[in-house]
Amino acid sequence: MYKIAIAGASTLLGKELKEALSDSPLAAASFVLLDEDQALGQLDQVGDEVTFVQAISPDVFDRVDFTFFCGPEQLTRKHWKQALAAGSTVLDLSGALDREAGVLVRAPWVSADDASADLFTPAIVPAHSASLALALLMERLGQSVPVRAAFATVLLPASEFGRAAMDELHQQTINLLSFQTLPRATYDAQAAYNLLSGLGESSTVNLASAEARIRRHFAALGGHRWPALSLQAIHAPVFHGHAFSIALELERPVEVTVLEEALSSDHLDLVLEDTDSPSNLAATGQNDVVVRLKPEPDPRNPSLTSRVWLWAASDNLRLYAQNAVECALDLRRLRPQGTVQ
């Protein structure tokens, strides 16, 4: 029986993680739910266990096998070393630790690089869900034909930045329709009905930071197996789901069927019909990355292509939570079980 702590249990990502854990082999674990003051005392449920949200105290991490940090970065920075000192394996979903010495960015669905976690690894960072989606596409295609160059635009939803961003996008939408002043505490800009590559000076949402994090995690997952990714992050006026516009240049022309076969693999759902185009709504609740392939025919041989467009979508919170659970399952080998005689 494992004991699992979730710090930031009442956040959007924390709630998604609880559902992912409930559907995993870790569902039988004992759970400790932790959060900030405003969520203390709330009843919650993980699997069949009903418990309540409690404050983080000095001894709360005792005998905890895995601690997931799902809240703000400052919450992780304040408490992760306490969990580590108590002997817990730390998994950071907050974005606070991926530049700490010895911390590894991981995604078990993507072939691991040479570095693997051991007893001296201070923490594991489950790869950002946008990085994971891009890595899955690059790895599957790269197994069939090398990719020479890759360019991607990632459309980020409000849920990427927490409940406050979702609430402000919702209220801005209502106020625009009723010709009222827009709330700007979170975005410091009009996010409703608008695509933005940058936000106001007083914004608490940092697009540049999110874009840099996606780049770091993608590079960590790929090592030197893939070309550098040219990336741009855009805030989209939607509540949930990543969407990706990706252009790839291949090393040599190949038949389209080769690419279709490569994209019809684990954790990818290839769409062949225009009427089923991937979208953030279609991806909601899905465990896979939904993708549509649009090849540009080779001028010398129309049956071949060396340049392709991908339009893809994924459930940002679900994919992130699932990757975190997969990381924990992979790390079970480092947790001693039973009684040592």
Q: How far is CA 251 from CA 26, 102, 145, 329, in A?
A: 43, 34, 7, 36
Query: Domain with 20 in it: what CATH number?
Result: 3.40.50.720
Residues of the chain where predicted confidence (pLDDT) is lower than 50:
338-341
Q: Are residues 22 and 53 in the same domain?
A: yes
For residue 341, tell me if it sits in a domain.
no
Q: Are residues 149 and 230 in the same domain?
A: yes
Q: Are residues 259 and 161 in the same domain?
A: yes
Q: According to the model, what pLDDT value does residue 263 have?
A: 94
Q: According to the model, what pLDDT value does residue 31 have?
A: 92
Q: Are residues 269 and 142 in the same domain?
A: yes
Q: According to the model, what pLDDT value does residue 339 have?
A: 39
Residues 140, 163 contacting (CB under 8 angstroms):
no
Q: Are residues 181 and 203 in the same domain?
A: yes
Q: Are residues 144 and 288 in the same domain?
A: yes
Residues 243, 278 contacting (CB under 8 angstroms):
yes
Residues 73, 13 contacting (CB under 8 angstroms):
no
Q: Are residues 240 and 277 in the same domain?
A: yes
For residue 233, tell me if it sits in a domain.
yes
Q: Are residues 169 and 302 in the same domain?
A: yes
Q: Are residues 60 and 166 in the same domain?
A: no
Q: What six digits make up the tokens of 280?
A: 């953030």
- List Cβ neighbours of 74 (8 Å cut-off, separation of 6 or more): 96
Q: Are residues 88 and 106 in the same domain?
A: yes
For residue 329, tell me if it sits in a domain.
yes
Query: Domain with 245 in it: what CATH number?
Result: 3.30.360.10
> Whose CA is closest to 327, among 84, 86, 21?
21
For residue 35, tell me if it sits in a domain.
yes
**Domain containing 77: what range?**
3-126+321-334
Residues 305, 256 contacting (CB under 8 angstroms):
yes
For residue 339, tell me if it sits in a domain.
no
For residue 291, tell me if it sits in a domain.
yes
Q: According to the model, what pLDDT value does residue 337 have?
A: 60
Q: Give pLDDT tens digits for 196-244.
A: 999 999 999 999 999 999 999 999 999 888 998 999 999 999 999 999 9
For residue 21, tell me if it sits in a domain.
yes
Helices 316-331 and 12-22 pack at an angle, to 10 degrees, of 50
Structural domains in the chain (count): 2
Q: According to the model, what pLDDT value does residue 47 have?
A: 66
Q: Are residues 73 and 147 in the same domain?
A: no
Q: Phi and psi at residue 46, in whole multiples of 5°?
A: -130, 120
For residue 209, tell me if it sits in a domain.
yes
Question: What are the E-state strand segments in the chain?
Answer: 3-7, 30-34, 43-46, 49-54, 66-69, 89-92, 104-106, 124-126, 147-156, 229-235, 242-255, 268-271, 289-297, 304-314
Q: Are residues 23 and 113 in the same domain?
A: yes
